[in-house]
Structure 1
C-alpha cells in the first residue's frame, strides 16, 4: 500500500480509543482487505492538517499455520482437553497468561507420573486454530468420543477476581467440577452464560458436531477489563499471584476429575466399621473429638455403595472434594474401601 492522503482522508484509516487516550487499540481485519494504523488518541489529535505519505510493505499469500498438540497418555484413553491460544502475544493477560498457565499445568501433570486420564493440551491461534485443528481427518470424531472434560484457558493473569463461562449445556461434568472447585477456592467468582457471553475457542469446540463439554476458567473475562485488546494489557497487568491462583484452581479441577468421580465400593461387610480397630479413630468416646475426621471417614464409608463418588460425598458434606482424599486413602489402606478404576463414560 502506497499513496498520499490529506489529513481528513487519512483519519478514516486511523484507530484509537477516546476513552483510553494513552492506549493503542488492537484492531484486525481478517475477512476483508483494508489498511489502517492503530495509535494513541493523544497522538491522533496532535496530527496537523496537511498531506501524509502512506507506505505499508506487506504481502498476502498462501501460508501455513503452526500449532502445538501435547498429549500426555493416561491409564484411560478418555481425555481431559485443554485449549489456549497464541495469536496476539503482545497482550499479556488476554494471551500470554493462558499459554503460561497451560504450560505449567502440563508440566505438573507430567511430574506426577502416569495420570488416570489422558491429557491433551492444544496451543493454537484463536478461532482459526481450532477450526484447522478440528479439520484433521477423524479428529472431530475422536474428540467427541474420548473427551470427558474440557477447559479453555485465557485471561488468567490479573488479580481482579475469578469468573466462569460454563459450557453450552451448563450441567456437564466439567461444569460441575469447575463450580465445585471455584465455590471452595474463590467463592466470590462471577458466572457468565454461554448464550450471551461466549467469544473464545469454546465457540468452535462446542459447535454442533463437535460438542465438547468446555468451560472457561478465567480471572477478568475477556472483553470486561479496560485494558483488553489494547497496549495497556502488558506485563504490569499480570502478577505471579494472579497466575498462581489460576493454576491452583484449574489443577484442583484436574484433581477432582482424577480422584473424585469414580464410584466408591465397600468391602463385603455389613454395618459401620469399627474405625478404632484399624487405628483410624480414638477409642475414647467424646462427641467433640475430631468430628471433622469422624464425619469424613463415616460419610465416605456410608456412601460407598457403588453409586456415589467422592465428589457426591463432598457436595453432601459441603466440603472440598480434595479434603476427602485422605479419608479414602486411609480406608483403602486398611482394606475397608475400594474405588473403581474403570473408565467413566460421559
Structure 2
C-alpha cells in the first residue's frame, strides 16, 4: 500500500513540473514537456514538418510565444501571460499597438456563467490574436486606451510527438495514446500523460505477452499524423487500445466506447469498471470528443476506448483555469493508474482455455479437491469446478467470469493452479 501511495505522489510531482509550461499542438512547450517525460521513460521524439499532408489535414505552422500582456494608460499590466498562460488565445499572432476599449473587447474572451475562471481558447487554423480573462476582470475595464502586446512566432517548423514501443512475446499490440498539447490544465491535459508514463514504467518492469505501442501526441492533429505514418501496422497488430485522458480528479469514472462498442477493449474496460467502479457513467460513441474520433473513424476502425474520471466537456472546470493543481489529487491518479493497469493485466491474462481430458478432471489426486466428502467440504473448490465446466475452448476468462458470477481477478489463482497441474491449456491469443 505504501508503494502505491508513493506512485501517486510521484505522478503528482511530475504533473506539478509540467503544469507551468505553455504547450500547444506544436512548438517548444510540447518539446519541453516531452523531455521531462523522457527523464522517466525512454520515449522517442519525432518531428513532422509543417505543411505535411496527413489524410484530409495539413500539419500547421509551428507556434511559439515569449510574452504577452495588456497595459492600461497608467502602464499597469492588467493581463499578463507570464502569470497565467491561459491568458493568451492559443496560436495568437504578434501584435504591438494601442487601441481603445471598444476594439479591445472584440479580442477578449471570458465566461459570464463562471466569472472567476479564465477560459481556454485557441485558433489553430485561422490567424488571429486575443486574450482570455475572468469575467470579473473584464467587468472592471474602463474606457480609455490600452497597449496590447504579443511576442509570438508562426513559422515553418514541425509537429512533435513521442513514441515508445515495448516488445512482447507476440507482435500483437496493446495501444496507449495520450495528448500533451494544452497549456496549464491539470486534469484535462496532464493527468493522462503522467498516468501513461507510470503505466509504461510498470509495463517495462516484466516480460509481457503483448507488444505495447505508447504515444504522446498533440490532440487531433497528432493522432491523424501518427495514423498517417503507422496505420497499416496498427490495423494489422492492435487488438485493444485506450485513449488516456481526464484521469486525475476524484469524481465517478466515465466510459466512452469504440464506434460500435463490440471490441475486446470495450469488453475488458466494461468488465473492470463493473467490478471496481460500478457507479461509473456509461456514454455512447455519440458523446466522443477526443482522439478516439480518429482511431475509430471509418476505414481506421481501431479497437480504442476511453476510460476516464470526469469526462472531457462534462465537468465545470473543463477548459478553464479552474482545472488546476488543486482539482487533481495523488490518490485519484493512483486509483486511475490501478484501474487501467487492471485492464491491461486482464488483456495479458485473457485466454480461451480448454480442459485437457474428457469428463470431469480428477482433482483429488492432484490435491485440488477434498479427500473427505462431508457437508461444506465442496465450498473451497466451487469456483474451480464451475470454471472447468465452461473451459471448453470457446469462452475466454471474461466470458466464464460472467457465466459463473466471479470477478476475473478471483479466477487468476484458479487458472494458475489448473495450468500448473496441466488440467487446462490456453486455446489461443485473442
1:280 aligns with 368
1-structure distance, mates of 2:403, 2:105 = 62
Aligned pair partner of 2:405 in 305, 312, 318: 318
Deviations along 1:309-334, one digit per CA (max 9) or x if unpaired, are 22211111222212111111101111
Contact 1:159/1:239, CA 8 A, preserved across alignment: yes
Distance in 1, Cα, partners of 2:183 & 2:382: 49
Partner SS, residue 152 of structure 2: coil
Q: Where does residue 37 of structure 1 map in the other structure?
A: 131
1:13 positional shift: 0.8
The 5 A counterparts of 1:1-346 are 1-111=95-205, 113-136=206-229, 139-195=230-286, 197-260=287-350, 262-267=351-356, 269-289=357-377, 291=379, 293-340=380-427, 342-344=428-430
- Residue ranges of structure 2 left out of the alignment (5+ in a row): 1-94
Instruction: Give distance in 2, aligned partners of 1:165 and 1:290.
Output: 41
TM-score (norm 2): 0.76
Q: In 2, distance between residues paired with 1:234 and 1:199?
A: 21
Asked if structure 1 preserves the Cα contact closer than 8 Å seen for 2:387 and 2:404, the reply is no
Bigger Cα displacement from structure 2, 211-220 vs 331-340: 331-340
**1 or 2, which has the higher strand percentage?**
2
Write the distance in 1 (CA, Å) between the matches of 2:262 and 2:272. 15
User: Aligned partners of 2:107, 2:406: CA distance in 1, in Å?
Assistant: 56
Deviation at 1:285, TM superposition (A): 2.6
CA deviation profile, 1:264-317 (whole Å, cap 9, x unmatched):
1222x33212322211122233443462x4222112222222212222111112
CA contact (8 A) 2:265 2:303 kept: yes
TM-align CA RMSD: 1.4
Answer yes or no: is the 8 Å Cα contact 1:89–1:96 preserved in 2: no
Aligned to 2:7: none
On the 8 A contact 2:183/2:189 being kept in 1, the answer is yes
Residues 76 and 343 of structure 1 are in contact (CA less than 8 Å); yes or no, is this contact kept in structure 2? no
Shift of 1:73: 0.7
Mapped partners of 1:159, 1:211: distance in 2: 31
SS of aligned partner of 1:25: coil
Q: Please state how far the C-alpha of 1:263 moved relative to its aligned partner.
A: 1.6
Q: Secondary structure at the match of 2:348?
A: helix
Aligned length: 336
SS of residue paired to 2:159: coil
- Distance in 2 (alpha carbons) for counterparts of 1:163 and 1:193: 11
TM-score, normalising length: structure 1: 0.94
Structure 1 runs (4+) greater than 4 angstroms displaced: none
Deviations 1:213-248 (A, max 9, x none): 110000000011111111111110111221111111
Unaligned residue ranges in structure 1 (runs of 5+): none
Q: SS in structure 2 opposite 1:135? A: helix
- Distance in 2 (CA, whole Å) between partners of 1:183 and 1:130 is 29
